[in-house]
A and B are shown apart, each in its own frame.
Chain A
Amino acid sequence: MAKVTLENVVKTYGPVTAVGDVSFTVQDGEFVALVGPSGCGKTTTLNLIAGLIPISGGNIRIGDKLVNDLDPKDRDIAMVFQNYALYPNKTVAKNLAFPLQMRRLPKDEIARKVAEAARVLDITHLLERKPRELSGGQQQRVALGRALVRDPRAFLMDEPLSNLDAKLRVQMRTELKRFHQDLKATIIYVTHDQLEAVTMADKMAVMNGGTLQQYDSPKNVFDHPVNTFVASFVGSPAMSLVPLRRVVEGDAVALAGDGWQMPLSPANARKALSAKSDTVILGARHSTIALHDGPREGAVPGRVYTVEPTGDVTFVQVHVDGAIVIASLAPDVAVRSDTNVWLGFDQSRMHLFDCETQMALT
C-alpha cells in the first residue's frame, strides 16, 4: 500500500473546469471518502487518480512516484466501479484471474491467489458462474475480489454500494470497513451519500463545484464545517441555517429576527463582529436545539410547520423568520403543527457564518 498525493490538480474540458486546483494527501492505509453532490467533480477526481482521463494541470503521486503521464495499467491501483464492470463473458474465476494474467503471473500462482480472494470474500461456490447469474450483492463481492486479488498500491472505489438495496448496503458498509481495517489498505472512496463517508472514512474530502471545500476527519467536518455548503451537506437531517441581523449595543452583540433578539455569548459575539456585513447566518444541528412551549430568556419564537416521527426520535420543522429550523424531540413528547414554540440554541455548539462569503466565522 502507498500514500496518494494530489497537488493543485486541475481538469478542464475546453472552457469548463470540472476539477479546479484540488490538493490533498491520502496517507498510507487511510480510508478517504470523496463526497459531494452530483457533478461536483468527485468521480472526475477519482478517474484522474486512476489515469482514465488525462490531467490538465498539477501533479498526482502514488507513493513517491509521479504518475501524471502513466497509463492506468502502470499505476498499480485497483478500482471498483459503480456498475461493477464485471466482464460479462467471463466466469467469476476468470474475472478474478484477469488482472493477474495481464501481469503475466505463473498459472499456479494465479490459481492460488484467485482461490484465496474467493475464500476471503466467501464467493468460492460462485467461481464457475457468469456475472449475470449472480445477485447484486454477489456481483459486488466479485468486483471487490477482482480489486484485492493482486495487492495494489491503492484501492479506488466509485460509489460501489449505490446499486445495492438499502439493507444490503448497510451490511456491505460494515464489511468494507472491516476489509479496510484487516488489509490496512489505502482506499479512496467516492460517494454522494455523506452517511457512508461519515461511517467508514478516516477522512473525508467534501467537494462542490469542482473544488475541495474541506478535508478533515468526519468528526471535525461534522463539528467544524468551514462553510455553509459543508454545514448543510454533512449530517442528516441537514444543519439548519437562518440568516439574521447583527445588532451591536455597546459591548453586547445580539442576533435579531422579526420582533425578537437573541443575545450572543462573548465567544459568539466576537465571531459575529468579524463578519463583513450586518447579516450573519446562524447554523445549528437539531440535537443542539431545545424546544420550549413558552417564552424563555434568549429563546427564539417560531411556529411548528411539520412533525416527523421516525421512531426513536421525532423531528420538528419550525418556521423561524422565513427559514426552516429542524429540532428533535424524544418520541413521547407531543407537538402539534401550527402551534407556537420557542427554540433555545446551545451557544457553545452553534455555528456562525458570514453571509457574503458563506465561510464559518471563527
Chain B
Amino acid sequence: MSGRVDGWRWAGRVFLVLILLFTAVPMVWMLLTSIKSQFAAMQYPPQWWPKEPTLENYTKLLDPTNPVGNDFLRYMWNSFYVSLATTVLGVAVAVPAAYAFSRFRFPGRTFLFFAVLLRNMFPAVVFLMPLFILMRWLGLVGTHGSLILTYLTFGLPLSIWLLKGFYDNIPIQLEQAARIDGATRFQAFLLIVMPLSVPGILATSIFSFIGAWNEYVYAATFLNRQDQLTLPVGIQRFFAEFATDWPGLMAATFLMSVPVVVLFLILQRYFVRALTEGAVKS
C-alpha cells in the first residue's frame, strides 16, 4: 500500500523535475550563450560552460554611443513607454469600472460585464485587420498611440474582472461606516477602499504591463519607422540584418526579460493573492 503511494509520489517528482528542466534549461542556455564570444557560441560540439566568459555583448547593448546599443536602448525605451502608458491608462479605467460593477446595480450590468469579456473569446490575431483599418481611419497607424489603444482593449477585460473580485471582497459596511462617519461617497472610496485595493491594483498592473511588454504581432503590423519599434519587433529585425549574432541576440532577450522577472519577484505575493482572492472564505 505505502509502496504504491511512494511510487506515485516519485512519479510526481520526476514529472515536476522534467517540467522544471523543460522551462529552465532554455533560459540557462540563453544566459550562457549571452556571455560567450561569437566564435565560442558557434562551436561544435558546444562549449557547455563558456571558457572565456565575457560581458562584451551586454556593454555593447547598453552603450548609447555604439549604434547597436543606441538602437537597443531606444527600443527598450519605446517598449517601456508603451507598456507604462497602457498600464496607467488601463488602471485608470479599470478601477472605476470594476468598482461600479461590484457596487452598483444598474440596467444592463450583467450584459455589460460579459460583453467586457467578449474580446477575450477570440484569438488576438482575428482583430488584426479590423483594428488596422480602424487605426488608419483614426490616423494612428505608425504611432505608439495605436499600440496603447490596442493593448488597452486586450488588458482591460482581465483587469476589470480581477479588480471586481477584489472589490467584492471588501465589505460594503466599511464604506457605509465611512459615510456615516462624515465622508462623501467619493471620500469613502478614496480614503477607505483605495488603500485596501492596492494589492489588487498592483497585480492587475503587472498583468497589463507584461502583456504590453511582450506583444509582437500588433507591434510588427502597426509600426514601421525604425525609431518607433518596441523591443520584441526591434530585436528580431535588428539582428536579422547582422546575420545571426547569437550571443548578442541572447543578451538582448535576456535584458528584455529582466523587467518582467523583477516585477514578478517583487510583487508575486500580491499576484497570488489577487488570483486566489475570494476562492476561500477568510
Contacts and interface: CB of A to CB of B under 8 A. Distances in A.
| A and B held together in a complex | yes
Interface of A: 47, 50-52, 71-73, 75, 77-79, 81-83, 85, 87-89, 98-99, 102-103, 146
Nearest to A102: B182
A85 B176 contact: yes
- Specify which of B171, B180, B195 lies most central, judged by the most chain A CB atoms within 10 Å of its CB: B180
Q: Is the interface of B mostly helix, strand, loop or mixed?
A: helix
B70 interface: no
Given A87-B174, A102-B178, A102-B182, 18 more contacts: A50-B180, A52-B180, A71-B179, A71-B185, A72-B179, A73-B180, A73-B182, A73-B183, A75-B180, A79-B177, A81-B176, A83-B173, A85-B171, A85-B176, A85-B177, A88-B196, A99-B181, A102-B181
A102 B176 CA distance: 14
A79 B196 contact: no
Interface string B169-203: 00101101111111111010000100110000000
A99 B177 CA distance: 9
A79 B172 CA distance: 14
Contact of A81 (B177, B183, B187, B195): B177
A321 to B, nearest CB: 46
Interface string B211-224: 00000000000000
Given A52-B179, A89-B195, A73 B173 contact: no
- Specify which of A83, A85, A88 lies most central, judged by the most chain B CB atoms within 10 Å of its CB: A85
Contacts of A89: 195-196
Given A88-B196, A89-B195, A103 B174 contact: no
A72 B192 contact: no
Given A83-B171, A83-B173, A85-B171, A78 B196 contact: no
A290 B187 CA distance: 62
Given A81-B173, A83-B171, A98 B181 contact: yes
A146 B181 contact: yes
Contact of A71 (B171, B174, B184, B195): B184
B178 to A, nearest CB: 7
30 contacts: A50-B180, A51-B179, A52-B179, A52-B180, A71-B184, A72-B180, A73-B179, A77-B180, A78-B180, A78-B181, A79-B180, A81-B173, A81-B177, A83-B173, A85-B171, A85-B173, A85-B174, A85-B176, A87-B177, A87-B192, A88-B174, A88-B196, A89-B195, A99-B182, A102-B178, A102-B181, A102-B183, A103-B182, A146-B177, A146-B181
B193 to A, nearest CB: 10
A144 B178 CA distance: 14
Nearest to B192: A87
Interface string B154-182: 00000000000000000101101111111
A52 B103 CA distance: 13
B118 to A, nearest CB: 28
Contacts of A51: 179
B97 to A, nearest CB: 23
Given A89-B195, A89-B196, A102 B177 contact: no
- Specify which of B171, B173, B182, B183 lies most central, judged by the most chain A CB atoms within 10 Å of its CB: B182
- Specify which of A72, A81, A87, A146 lies most central, judged by the most chain B CB atoms within 10 Å of its CB: A72
Contacts of A72: 176, 179-180
B183 to A, nearest CB: 5
A75 B177 CA distance: 13
Contacts of A146: 177, 181
Contacts of B192: 87
Nearest to B196: A89
- Specify which of B171, B174, B181, B182 lies most central, judged by the most chain A CB atoms within 10 Å of its CB: B181
